[in-house]
A = this chain, B = another copy of it.
């Protein structure tokens, strides 16, 4: 259909996206398709997540961090399945605010993260939209055949673990919106987590080796553990007292008048991009060892039981959280 800006797409692809292209499989972005040779003995793992300005990122978020977040939230899905990423396809819906400098920033963000995470652009397209800037990314990774971790494998008696800290997604959003009062370095740390979360790719192989079920914490720990419980047909008991908090979140938490409600907020906020997983107790020592080797915090937050859905405990009592978690619709 007729376009308003004939030069835009070609220029964007030629000057900004081609330098990001996979050296072999993207065909220089000149051929509408990527061509991926089969990798015998491996499964291809695919995920696709979208982001909309004003819904999944803020209108004043810099576009280099928007690009990074887009890539990272997808890589986080792969990490939770135990997959090693290698590439992605990208659709950009550029809004009015996406002029050439903004597109350059977006591509620069991708370039940095491609180098950091070892992935390349495989294809996609760019279009203009009269609406908010929006992006969709399809990320691809490998696992050895049959080894992708699902949500469905949790067994009664398994333990529940989570990497890193929970709650920086929610507090980061509030920090980025200017809604928090904390020391500047705490606010900066939270804003940085919100804009550029760290997918736990260095822990993916450990999850693959030891986890019975796994999920990345994107909808909120409550919601994501509920997914695991339902898909596995088990109950999951989460001990809110041991929820791992970052230094910044601890500073925020110290001033709360209702600690239980505050922990519930953090556990339902989402956007954490940690890996929550279940594993047989015999693997606990190995898991702790592998986490220590990677300087990665690992917290045992609960257990899997015969039952149905998520049970939250606080101070040894079962509690009913006011909220179960956000969704992204």
Contacts and interface: CB of A to CB of B under 8 A. Distances in A.
B327 A9 contact: yes
Interface string A127-144: 111111010101000010
Which of A6, A30, A134: most chain B CB closer than 10 A? Answer: A134
A260 interface: no
Majority-rule SS of A interface residues: mixed
B134 A131 contact: yes
A50 B327 contact: no
Which of A33, A45, A128, A270: most chain B CB closer than 10 A? Answer: A33
A288 interface: no
Interface string A83-98: 1000001110111000
Interface residues of A, number: 79
Interface string A250-291: 000000000000000000001100000000000000000000
Contacts of A49: 91, 125
A47 interface: yes
Contacts of A3: 55, 326-329
B32 A43 contact: no
Which of A39, A124, A227: most chain B CB closer than 10 A? Answer: A124
Nearest to A32: B77
Given A9-B329, A173-B1, A136 B50 contact: yes
B50 A91 contact: yes
A30 B77 CA distance: 12
Contacts of A30: 151-152, 227, 231
A240 interface: no
Contacts of A122: 46
Contact of A27 (B55, B131, B150): B150
A1 B80 contact: no
A104 to B, nearest CB: 16
A5 interface: yes
A16 interface: no
Given A3-B328, A89-B138, A132-B130, A43 B50 contact: no
Interface of A: 1-6, 8-10, 12, 27, 30-52, 54-56, 77-78, 80-81, 83, 89-91, 93-95, 122-132, 134, 136, 138, 143, 145, 148, 150-152, 173, 215-216, 227, 231, 270-271, 326-329
> 9 closest Cβ contacts across the A-B interface?
A131-B131, A9-B329, A136-B136, A8-B329, A91-B136, A50-B91, A36-B44, A48-B89, A48-B124
